[in-house]
Amino acid sequence: MLPPGEWITLPTGRVFVRHVKGPAGSPTVMLLHGWTVTADLNWYLIYTPLAQRASVVAFDHRGHGTGIATKRFTLADCASDVLAIADALTLEQFICVGYSMGGAIAQLAARQAPERITGIVLGATSTSFRGQGFRSARFSLMPVVAGISRKIPRNLRQWSWQKVVCKVIANGFSRWAQAEVLKGDPQAMLDAGTELFRFNSSPWIAELSMPFAQICTKGDSVVPDYLQEELSLTVPNIAVFSYQGGHSSVVTDSASFWDCMNSALDHLGVPQASLTDQKHLAKQ
């Protein structure tokens, strides 16, 4: 069962936001999802255990799911949305948890408003996604493909996107997963890929003073180990928690991911839920 949510109107558009109250006095954790998926698909197995320790906020990024419609996706706009949603919910301070693309957005939001973000957990992500060799060469085509796509009729883009999604998410997942991904705007997905190709926080991320924790998904073919290790080596005093799992292991091995998340929250000073809080939240 998914937690409740509401439509919030921002100056840039409307977005559906899930908001779960945690134990009294607990911090708020804002969950930022990965490329092409939705908040629910990325985090649905994390909502309940996380709400036993903190209040939870989750929403779809621009062009993804029920996120704000956009003519051209940028990571900077997504970071601004994080802060705008915090304003709408009257959150002065909060923790960001970013997975994959959401990790890049978390870094940018922290750079925009370092006084508001009290800690960051970064999972399956890096300071840069470009990589080396064939990966870099293939990724460099993303701006070209995105540019060509803009000249293709929208219905043809949508048809092509549906074919790709149904092929990738064929037997190993579910119809629901397909439906979640297909809510996205195909052009926004390509623009997001271009943004990820260009993203590089290594010149400035070490200047951020809030505590960092990292969850490394070892053996990840989407964000390889060496890219995740670049983040570990760039951020001073970052706490690193690892497990063996692919890029989708936040869902396919959520128990291992949650073990690391729990440790990351400990590092950030988030209190463990009392037995009373756990029983109360279990009844909600």
180-215 pLDDT, tens digit per residue, is 999 999 999 999 999 999 999 999 999 999 999 999
Distance CA 83, CA 217 (A): 27
| 160 pLDDT more than 90 | no
| 150 pLDDT more than 90 | no
77-96 pLDDT, tens digit per residue, is 999 999 999 999 999 999 99
Q: Which ranges of the chain would DSSP assign to H, the alpha helix?
A: 39-43, 47-51, 75-88, 101-112, 133-139, 142-149, 154-168, 175-182, 186-198, 225-234, 249-252, 254-267, 275-283
| HEC assignment per residue over 123-156 | ECCCCECCCCHHHHHHHCCHHHHHHHHCCCCHHH
| 76 pLDDT more than 90 | yes
Helix (H) or strand (E) holding 16: strand 13-20
Give one DSSP letter per residue of 222-244, joined into a string. Answer: SS-HHHHHHHHHHSTT-EEEEEE
Give residue 136's pLDDT: 82
| CATH number belonging to domain 5-277 | 3.40.50.1820
Distance CA 116, CA 137 (A): 37
- Binned at pLDDT 50, 70 and 90, residue 133 comes out as confident
- Of residues 181 and 174, the one with the higher pLDDT is 181
